[in-house]
Amino acid sequence: MEATITFTQAALGDEIIVPTLDGKAKMKIPAGTQNGNVFRLRGKGFPSLHISGKGDQLVKIKVDVPTKLNDRQKQLLREFAEASGEKARNI
């Protein structure tokens, strides 16, 4: 499955709730998670056909990058870029 998280959740880390076959499960998002990372929820997947137990559920992370920012948000991101050594263009 795919789980969409915010830029802030990806950068700082968080705990999210994801649906599984058995209901909802908590999943930890570590700080620095990148778009496209895949996490494994052990034993939360489909039942195995050949052995007892269940398989794992894979969760692919989709980071939602904001498309519209207000002036304060833009300024904070410019300050972040500067503190990170990036040259932020003022577009």
Q: Residue 48: pLDDT above 90?
A: no
Distance from the Cα of residue 85 to its chain's centroid: 24
The pTM (predicted TM-score) of the whole model is 0.82
Instruction: Indicate the residue type of 38.
Output: V
**């990806």: which residue's tokens?**
10
The dihedral built from the CA positions of residue 36, 40, 41 and 44, taken in this order, carries a sign that is: positive
Residue predicted with more confidence, 10 or 82: 10
- The phi, psi pair for 81, rounded to 5°, reads -60, -45
The residues, any chain, with a CB within 8 Å of residue 72's CB and separated by 6 or more, are none
Structural domains in the chain, CATH included, are 2-65 (2.60.260.20)
Tell me what the pLDDT averaged over the chain comes to. 92
